[in-house]
Structure 1
Amino acid sequence: MSSLSKPGRTILASSIAKVYTDEIVSKIADLKEERPNGPLLVGFLANNDPAAEMYATWTQKTSESLGIRYELRRFEDKDLLEESIIEANNEDSVDGIMIYFPVFGNAQDQYLQQIVSKEKDVEGLNHVYYQNLYHNVRYLDDAKQLKSILPCTPLAIVKILEYLKIYNSLLPYGNHLYGKKCMVINRSEIVGRPLAALLANDGAIVYSIDINNIQKFTRGESIQYSRHHVEDLGDFTQNKLKSLAQECDVIITGVPSESYKFPTEYVRDGACCINFSSFKNFNDEVKNKASLYVPMTGKVTIAMLLRNMLRLIENREKLNQETPSN
């Protein structure tokens, strides 16, 4: 009788991440000859944010468990960070670089994101990668040998949706979300907006929710465009939120507030619900309505970060093979 009262399933990030961590271990084994001690990931921490400290701990633990060396470089003086990142860009032993934000907590943080060399940017925050994401360009070269890097958390959510079979692999590549409606409760430049663009570029209709307004990301009727377009649906209201949410196959939350809860009654029966906030944005009652519920995504995000680093190594190796020696 209890199985009838809760028809859906709660899926833990750890079970999803395992698919990718197994892949990472295999690829690291292939690198043993040239990197006997494993690749090196360097994290830069210049704040006292407990969430950043926890993220750094998780990253180190996961990296080392998979055979990746991890080095955390701490800074009391934030003004020393820029030069140190530039030095790491030029260190041959460093394969990947990440920064734990916020540092300054303002536009200067966006500048720091661009200081990291795109060849070592495991977080996928470099402007080249962002431009490719928004324009639905999936490779760095015309020959389509060098894959572009995607930001870790948006990529993690895409991989979660693939794991949950929300993506329809029977459809042509690039259109796997055709026919799906998604809602993203967050429009930050780091996660929410790029995530909405990614999902729309894969064929979905995406409602992007911000405290000020609601936007619709779509590739047009019958996905006629090569990249997403954005339509402003006007000011945010609870009535609009409820009406749109009840149309959606997928609801994704990322509100950085302990007090925020997405109203369970807005969730359509059988929808898929995913939360990427470090706080629980859904009440436990959502398990009675959602067919699939992923309460946290952190472990998949870290797996994507490490996967990105291996892709950067692969891209560098391909470039070195193409560059004739003197």
Structure 2
Amino acid sequence: MSARVLAGPPVAAALLADAAARASRLPAQPNLVIVSVGDDPASLSYVRGKSRKAGEVGLRNTVHALAETTTQAELLTLIDTLNRDDDVNGILVQLPLPAQIAEAAVLHAIDPRKDVDGFHPLNVGELWAGRPALTPCTPAGIMFLLEHHGVPVAGARAVIVGRSHLVGRPLAALLLNADATVTVAHSRTRDLGSVTREADILVAAAGTPGLITPDMVKPGATVIDVGINRVLKPDGKGHLVGDVHPDVAGVAGALTPVPGGVGPMTVAQLLANTVRAAELQHAARADLEAAGEFVR
């Protein structure tokens, strides 16, 4: 058996095309503001990529590149200004942040209606309650990927290896909301292989290269590899590998590659979230205006 490859780029393109079409129907182009602090090369590269992709989809976007010495108070002041600006539909603060800034304080300060990363406690709570909310981009992108490739979720046994607030936990909520039976495994799980072998859908999001080996996978299972790990080859050059061993391709029924699997879905979902945020804000503004309560 050779696993069917669940490639991300064509699915991300479909999601972006839908987002662009929806954005074109709004009264104004959605506006995404990206805030970065410091000069971490990886973070700056991610910001440039998101900004470029936003422009390709037809979204307005602004990048606030702040100095490494920016204080928490200064960053919170900027976020407050962006929260109050009706022309701003989405706010993204690029992580990680310098040590002098408390990440939680910053993420909690973003207006939940503009929280296109889906990390605000109100959005997290709505997600777990099974109600519509702005949802973390990687988990939402995974769900779109599964749907696009026709992978049945309702009634499936899903196992997620990794319990982070960025991927594992919100993905568990999304899968539960889609009627899967969900197990979240982690570093303290006993006999991990016995748990993962029960999965019809196995998601590896632990950040450990090659953690999932062929003997840990149910034959024919769909395997989603979220891991992005940079390792050195014998020649000293770095390359990206996932959390899933390459030999799993001989056991699984379907498998996402690394790179080129989940990664493209994350950025596409960010822009889709921005359009969704704009749609909700325009609808709320129209309701207020219709009621005679909205004053510019």
TM-score category by the smaller chain?
0.7 to 0.9
- The TM-score with structure 2 as length reference comes to 0.85
CA positional deviation for 1:314: 1.1
Distance (Å, rounded) in 1 between the aligned partners of 2:194 and 2:99: 35
Residue 209, structure 1, aligned to residue 203, structure 2: no
Quote the residue 2:199 is aligned against: 248
Structure 1 residues 107 and 263, CA, compared in 2 at 3 Å: closer, same or farther?
Answer: farther
Q: SS state of the match for residue 165, structure 1? A: coil
Structure 1 residues 39 and 291, CA, compared in 2 at 3 Å: closer, same or farther?
Answer: same
AA aligned to 1:149 is L
Aligned residues of 1:47 and 1:102 also touching (Cα < 8 A): no
1:85-128 CA deviation, whole Å, 9 max, x = no partner?
A: 11111223222110111214699211211111112111111221
Quote the residue 2:79 is aligned against: 85
Residue 246 of structure 2: which of 265, 276, 284 is its match? 284
- The TM-score with structure 1 as length reference comes to 0.78
1:255-309 CA deviation, whole Å, 9 max, x = no partner?
A: 234x453122211111111122222111221221221111231211111111111
Aligned residues of 1:86 and 1:116 also touching (Cα < 8 A): yes
Q: SS state of the match for residue 117, structure 2? A: coil
AA aligned to 2:118 is G
1:206-244 CA deviation, whole Å, 9 max, x = no partner?
A: 2211112xxxxxxxxxxxxxxxxxxxxxxx22xx21112
Gaps of 5+ in 1: 139-147, 168-176, 213-235
CA positional deviation for 1:53: 2.6
Residue 151 of structure 1: which of 119, 133, 136 is its match? 136
Residue 21 of structure 1: which of 2, 9, 16 is its match? 16
Structure 1 residues 277 and 48, CA, compared in 2 at 3 Å: closer, same or farther?
Answer: farther
Q: SS state of the match for residue 78, structure 1? A: coil
Aligned residues of 2:83 and 2:111 also touching (Cα < 8 A): yes
AA aligned to 1:190 is L
Structure 1 residues 247 and 256, CA, compared in 2 at 3 Å: closer, same or farther?
Answer: closer
Q: SS state of the match for residue 64, structure 2? A: strand
Distance (Å, rounded) in 2 between the aligned partners of 1:22 and 1:48: 32
Q: SS state of the match for residue 302, structure 1? A: helix
Structure 1 residues 10 and 179, CA, compared in 2 at 3 Å: closer, same or farther?
Answer: same
Once superposed, what is the RMSD of the aligned Cα atoms?
2.0
Gaps of 5+ in 2: 230-241
Quote the residue 1:75 is aligned against: 66
Aligned residues of 2:210 and 2:245 also touching (Cα < 8 A): no
Q: Which moved more, 1:277-286 or 1:123-132?
A: 277-286
Aligned residues of 1:78 and 1:103 also touching (Cα < 8 A): no
Matched residues, percent identical? 24
Residue 100 of structure 1: which of 91, 94, 111 is its match? 94
1:178-207 CA deviation, whole Å, 9 max, x = no partner?
A: 321111111012221111122123221222
Distance (Å, rounded) in 2 between the aligned partners of 1:50 and 1:263: 32
Quote the residue 1:325 is aligned against: 292
- Aligned residue-pair number: 273
Structure possessing the higher relative contact order (Cα contacts under 8 Å, 6 or more residues apart): 2
Moved over 3 A (4+): 47-51, 104-107
User: Which residues in structure 2 correspond to 1:159-308 (within 5 Å)?
Assistant: 159-167=144-152, 177-212=153-188, 236-237=189-190, 240-257=191-208, 259-279=209-229, 280-295=242-257, 296-308=261-273
